[in-house]
Structure 1
Amino acid sequence: MTWPEITVKDVSLRITKGTTPTTLGEAFTDQGVRFIKAEALNGDSNLDANGFAFIDEKTHELLRRSILQSEDVLITIAGAKTGKCGFVREEHLPANTNQAVAIVRIDKQKAVPRFVYYLFKRKEMFSFIQSLSAQAAQPNLNLTRLGQIHISLPPSNQQRQITSILSAYDDLIENNRRRMQLLEQAARLLYKEWFVRFRFPGHEHVKIKDAVPEGWQKKKIEDICQTIGGGTPSTSNPAYWDSGDVTWVIPSDVTRNDCLPLIDSEKKITESGIKSSSARMVPPETILMTSRASVGFFALMDKEVCTNQGFINIVPHEAWLRMYLLHNLMYQVEEIRLHAGGATYKEISKGRFRQMAIIVPSKLLSQEFDDIAFRIFQQVRVLKKQQLNLMEARDLLLPRLMNGEIAV
């Protein structure tokens, strides 16, 4: 089916971009108006909150040109991820953005905004924009060239039907994401209630000695777990990479993940790749903690894996300590980051990490917490797998709907 071809500019009320507050002498704040950076545009309909900064109302008004509106289509126009897109929802507002993000405001009399977003979400569109930006010394796409990009538009009723199908998948994906967040928050709150406020079951009958409940022990990390590093095979030897089937985790696998369970790694290595490097296989449910640059991000996998050198992989001596140890480390992550040194990038060494102090509760209480927290964790893992299946189904359907291969 052939649909009329027009340009992005033909259906836009406005194509503009933002400004970094510091260029106007203004600063970012800890809270306030969302300031959406390129990192928030992960290609999904829900913007990644890890890519948000904040500005105050005064700065927001100074940056009036880039005040976002609901249903704005956002496109990354600078950097390695040029071409990644996002969609502004009412829940994101008030919000602003910077010069690495283009704002495409669609004329709703001419096109359905979310349909245009899905046009940009296609892999072939991302590849096309990447090819345009690669022609420059630094990857970027100017606003004029963005407006000249050709798109094919079906009649508006078909746009709405296609958008309705795809957005149903997006809504299910977002619902799963929120459920995962709530479950993980419940486990964190339980940890805080029991092990920070000391309101654990039976606390009324336990005395406090030296600032900790009687029977709890003060130890070092090295006393309760094994810490294992990782490594990277030589990238110049294809035998270490080609057709590899060994799960090899890198920090970005974890930092880009939206929950504690990690389902798979982006890259794989071969058995010979493991033997040639300092990478070591670690057992299922090992606590994977990033230790370099982005320090203090956590994940667990349900299979044997290995990692690169940007991790400290933590295997408790006692399985019933796993969930307590995981939540303890997450709770004191800022202290972990304070122990990280380095001029070029921050890194916490295994030696320094092992010497950190930790309070170990009684075995009975730790087991009880492990049972509850691991059940919650397993629920999150099921939801994450469902989410990935939904994303795969949507992404298979998207190009066939957008090129008219599937009639609606």
Structure 2
Amino acid sequence: MKERYRLLGDFIQPVDERNKELKVDYLLGVSISKQFIPSIANIVGTDLSNYKIVRTGQFAYGPVTSRNGEKISIALLRDKDCIISSSYTVFEVVNKNELDSEYLMLWFSRPEFDRYARYMSHGSVREIFDWDELCKVELPVPSIDKQRSIVRAYQNITERIELKRRINDNLIDITDTIFFKVFLENNPAATISFTDIVQLMGGGTPKTDEDSFWNGKILFFTPKDISHSPFCIGTEKHLTNEGLNNCSSRLYPPYTTFVTCRGTVGNLALAGVPMAMNQSCYALKGKNDFPALFVFSFTRYVIATMKKKASGAVFSALVTRDFEMEKVFEPNLKDAILFEKRVKPLFTQILANTNEIQQLLDLQNALLTLLSSR
């Protein structure tokens, strides 16, 4: 056993409290993002007496790992007591003066734990990471003061991230308000096509089995790269120069608007740095010198209008004809340029905040990685 590492089983115990008196009706599940989430189960007419109760400060995890890819569903309940399916395992820390529950949750949040749990899973039909295997997990257990210091550092970073995200939300709301004041307050008539104002440009994907095309320095935007921020500054995949030269996408400049047209349809992102794009999106550029930030806000308004007209229906895809058929008001170019000047400082701040958020996320990941070396 590694020096200063202890068996998790020395610190935790299972809990099997059933909802026999039906006093709890707050039904949750656990996601692979390691959070409690509302359950999708329909409980109308369901006997809830056999569901397990999870108390605040307790953990729950789904022992079946084969359906979750590389991640295990495990979470610490910080909210009010809830009930959960009997298929989950509920447990708690026995002595919180020896092992802090939040510290333990940080340990579970590491990608290394997911890989370990997946590797140690067993079973022919369904692969299981059972209670005995969980108890065999080895983890560093420094002093309780040190554990709480690590947790505070992580939480401080988390709070800073949330603050910056809220600021960005407020800033984008302000740009929406300015857009409304400049262009929509007088209820302009929809007389022209969206594509009379905005040019749609496509993307493409080079051969995925050609190693020389991938893992370079050129960011490659796909719908998976949509984030909380209006800006995309990092992508899951990267191209080499050779890969870019062998796909249908050009290298789009910063402040290009991307709209997803397959998968999760109708999401928008602004390129924070130059990047290429796959065929599941359109890149948008203003015609007749309409500026880039106007194009983003204009498209944001048009997509919202399209979704509203769809009466809650989910788009299965967006194609060029959808944009050609979408009637919009005719914006004045001078107003668009003035709008651009007014909102540019706001978007500059949003981009700066997005870069800081990414740095903070990297710091969080580094802190989780350091847990393994303590």
Q: 2:233 aligns with which of 263, 266, 271?
A: 263
* Residue in 1 that maps onto 2:71: 82
* Residue in 2 that maps onto 1:306: 276
8 A Cα contact 2:17 2:53, kept in partner: no
* Residue in 2 that maps onto 1:383: 353
8 A Cα contact 1:75 1:82, kept in partner: no
Q: Does 1:248 align with 2:220?
A: yes
Gaps of 5+ in 2: 19-24
Question: After alignment, is 67-76 or 172-181 more displaced?
Answer: 67-76
In structure 2, relative to structure 1, the CA distance for the partners of 1:166 and 1:40 (3 Å cut) is: closer
Q: What's the offset of the Cα at 1:295?
A: 0.4
Gaps of 5+ in 1: 19-31, 42-46, 204-211
In structure 2, relative to structure 1, the CA distance for the partners of 1:398 and 1:38 (3 Å cut) is: closer
Q: What's the offset of the Cα at 1:145?
A: 3.1
How does 1:23-62 map onto structure 2 within 5 Å? 35=28, 38=31, 40-41=33-34, 62=48
* Residue in 2 that maps onto 1:229: 202
Q: Distance in 2 between matches of 1:249 and 1:100?
A: 38
Q: Distance in 2 between matches of 1:182 and 1:36?
A: 31
Number of positions where the alignment pairs a residue of Structure 1 with one of Structure 2: 360
Q: Does 1:3 align with 2:4?
A: yes
Q: Distance in 1 between matches of 2:249 and 2:50?
A: 50
2:191 aligned partner, one-letter code: K
* Residue in 2 that maps onto 1:208: none
Q: Distance in 2 between matches of 1:119 and 1:100?
A: 23
How does 1:151-300 map onto structure 2 within 5 Å? 151-192=139-180, 195=183, 198=185, 212-213=187-188, 218-241=191-214, 243-254=215-226, 257-300=227-270
In structure 2, relative to structure 1, the CA distance for the partners of 1:274 and 1:400 (3 Å cut) is: closer
2:159 aligned partner, one-letter code: D
**Higher helix proportion (structure 1 or 2):** 1
What is the CA deviation profile of residues 270-306 of structure 1, one whole-angstrom value per residue up to 9, with x for unaligned ones?
A: 2222332322332321111111021011111133321
What is the CA deviation profile of residues 39-97 of structure 1, one whole-angstrom value per residue up to 9, with x for unaligned ones?
A: 543xxxxx59xx7677899899938845555444565644114236555444xx57666
Q: 2:134 aligns with which of 146, 157, 172?
A: 146
Q: What's the offset of the Cα at 1:146?
A: 3.0
Q: Does 1:127 align with 2:115?
A: yes
* Residue in 1 that maps onto 2:291: 319
In structure 2, relative to structure 1, the CA distance for the partners of 1:97 and 1:368 (3 Å cut) is: farther
2:219 aligned partner, one-letter code: T
Q: What root-mean-square deviation, in Å, do the aligned CA atoms of Structure 1 and Structure 2 show?
A: 3.9
1:329 aligned partner, one-letter code: V
TM-score in terms of structure 1 length: 0.73
Q: Distance in 1 between matches of 2:84 and 2:202?
A: 38
* Residue in 2 that maps onto 1:44: none
1:12 aligned partner, one-letter code: I
* Residue in 2 that maps onto 1:209: none
Q: What's the offset of the Cα at 1:175?
A: 2.1
Instruction: Give % identity.
Output: 17
What is the CA deviation profile of residues 330-363 of structure 1, one whole-angstrom value per residue up to 9, with x for unaligned ones?
A: 4225258789999xxx222223333222223333
Question: After alignment, is 362-371 or 287-296 more displaced?
Answer: 362-371
